[in-house]
Chain A
Amino acid sequence: MLLNALRKLGGVLYRLLSVFIFLAVWELAARFQVVNPVFLPPFSEVAATLWKLIRTGVLLDHLLISLQRSLLGFGLGLAFAIPLGLLIGWYRGFERFIDPLIQTFRNLSVLSLLPVFVIFFGIGETSKVAVIFWGVLWAVLLNTIAGVKNIDLSLIKAARSMGISNYGLFTQVILPGALPTIFTGVRLSATSSILVLIAAEMLGANSGLGYALYFYQSNIKYPEMYAIIIVLAVIGVAVNYSLAAFEKRTFRYREELPETGSV
């Protein structure tokens, strides 16, 4: 039992080893002035600054406003993209009609549209939310379409053979069948939407993590700048891991190989 726990702990430590080495190299490179410590302060100093930002509540303020923008844009994006994707995926003719437009828009960088959003919505909250909305929209839309299109036709046939109504077919077969693929789109766009938000906040905002990042950089407060970058990295990892864990738990039936021995 104890041996097992130790082995497990060893496994976790091994998984984190590369990160520790990276931080150590960072610390030493700054301490021994391999790089200019003004541009890259040692990790310990950045960590202390980060703690200060947490303690004073400065970080929390920026974090909350960024999260609020993210969630709002994200929610709106999903509310729009999923129903539309289900519709497009189901009506093949409509898909052929709309697909070129979708392909064009999805390959258009969100940031290139930022000036347009600023014209329409100003530099307030709306333009930030709009950027997130746009960033989330296409990945989720395309995954939803793919999810509907790739549903096993024999499942539809089985349901139809039982005389299911169109509404029933949609709620009992199409939606649950497409859900795993839809969720993959959600997970992929979640991390990218945070990246997009940071860029948007850097370009025009007076609050939020992106704004803080830009503010500290232009005021030569480099330890604070690095502290924000660390926070962003942690958020990215946390969001991705928790969504992946949720995905694995919710859609465990997708696993190809049985966990328990089958007869």
Chain B
Amino acid sequence: MTVGEAKIIVKDVNRRYRIKQRSKEGGEPFLALQDVSFTVNAGEFLTIVGPSGCGKSTMLDLIAGLAVPTSGKLYLDGRPIEKPALDRGFVMQGYALFPWRTVRANVEFGLQIKKVPRKERREIAERYLRLVNLTGFADRYPYELSGGMKQRVAIARALACDPEVLLMDEPFAALDAQTRETLQDELLRIWEETKKTIVFVTHSIDEAVALADRIVVMTSGPGRVREIVEVPLPRPRRVANIKATPDFMRIRYRVWELLQGEVQEAREVGRLHAELPEEAKERPGEALSPIAAG
């Protein structure tokens, strides 16, 4: 596997949800993702950033195979993604550790699905617990761990099956600032050691810039790719150090602008809408289109 090859291809993906009928006007389909296309290169650290409701988590579910697109295609190594498999590891914000399993048994979960023999399972679990600095905690239960430690277990669990891709859905959002930064650094170290392809969803611009090779900036209502921003910051990085560099600030500002522009644009459309004659308001599409107007 060489760096730079396309690992994941997302092509013209639309995802529509039917909202449950609560009010009278309900029951209309809600467009979570519209015409989303991007590529994740092998070995790349890609972050997806956007406001809540921009469909970034939905995007991750689609890559995981936990959901299917309404239209469009997703490929992993050139093969269409149809269902979840152990070639993709998933890490969630809420840790999602099995409370009745010890740390070790949690890490072994995927290996058990893979029917790896007991002894081997134990060795692999031990190895990944060492990777996330949790040696000596194998026999603890999740309730005995802090939030940061729980997330380390979740990362070890996702990595234990040796997936090629790691999908992370706001994994550090529930942690305090200090723990979060420690884990960001550790994730970068693990990424560099294991050479995984990582797709990392976050709503924090700082986090997105500090970790990424490239950032997919998404906007909401409907969820679309606004722009893909390159992050040519040097590696290996330490999050605290990188945040103090002018380049970081510049990219951070650029992403902020893109997200801000979305808000601005929405306002402008609103103003334009307000200036249109009454009848056009009912059919804004027609009024704006010269063909329909003619």
Contact = CB atoms under 8 A, between A and B. Distances in A.
A155 B161 contact: no
Interface string A147-164: 000001011011111111
Given A155-B98, A253-B99, A262-B149, A163 B83 contact: yes
Contacts of B85: 163
Interface in A207-263: 251-256, 258-260, 262-263
B121 interface: no
A10 interface: no
A189 B110 CA distance: 37
Nearest to B161: A162
Which 10 pairs, one residue from A and one from B, show the smallest C-beta to C-beta distance?
A: A161-B90, A158-B96, A154-B96, A253-B141, A163-B85, A258-B144, A162-B110, A163-B84, A176-B100, A154-B94
Interface string B59-71: 0000011100000
Given A154-B94, A253-B99, A160 B84 contact: yes
A155 B144 CA distance: 18
Nearest to B99: A253
Interface in B175-191: none
Contact of B144 (A173, A179, A262): A262
B233 interface: no
Contact of A157 (B92, B146, B149): B92
A168 interface: yes
Contacts of B96: 152, 154-155, 157-158
Nearest to A261: B144
A256 B84 contact: no
B90 A253 contact: no
B84 A168 contact: no
Contacts of B1: none
A222 to B, nearest CB: 50
Nearest to B92: A154
Contacts of B100: 176-177, 179, 251, 253
Given A164-B113, A254-B99, A158 B90 contact: yes
B88 A176 contact: no
Contacts of A155: 96, 98
Given A253-B100, A259-B144, A262-B149, A163 B113 contact: yes
Contacts of A160: 66, 84
A169 to B, nearest CB: 10
Given A258-B144, A259-B144, A163 B98 contact: no
14 contacts: A152-B96, A161-B90, A162-B109, A163-B86, A163-B113, A165-B113, A168-B113, A173-B98, A253-B99, A253-B100, A253-B141, A254-B143, A256-B143, A262-B144
Size bracket of the B interface? 20 to 34
Interface of A: 152, 154-155, 157-165, 168, 172-173, 176-177, 179, 251-256, 258-260, 262-263
B142 A253 contact: yes
Contacts of B110: 162
Contacts of A163: 83-86, 113
Contacts of B64: 161
A58 B162 CA distance: 66
A172 B88 CA distance: 20
Nearest to B106: A158
Contacts of B149: 262-263
Contacts of B167: 161
A255 B84 contact: no
Contacts of A173: 98
A55 B64 CA distance: 69
Contacts of B98: 155, 158, 173, 176-177
Contacts of A152: 94, 96
A256 B99 CA distance: 11
Contact of B86 (A157, A158, A162, A260): A162
B145 interface: yes
Given A154-B96, A256-B143, A159 B109 contact: yes
B3 to A, nearest CB: 25
A182 B35 CA distance: 46
A157 B66 contact: yes
A113 B145 CA distance: 50
Contacts of B94: 152, 154
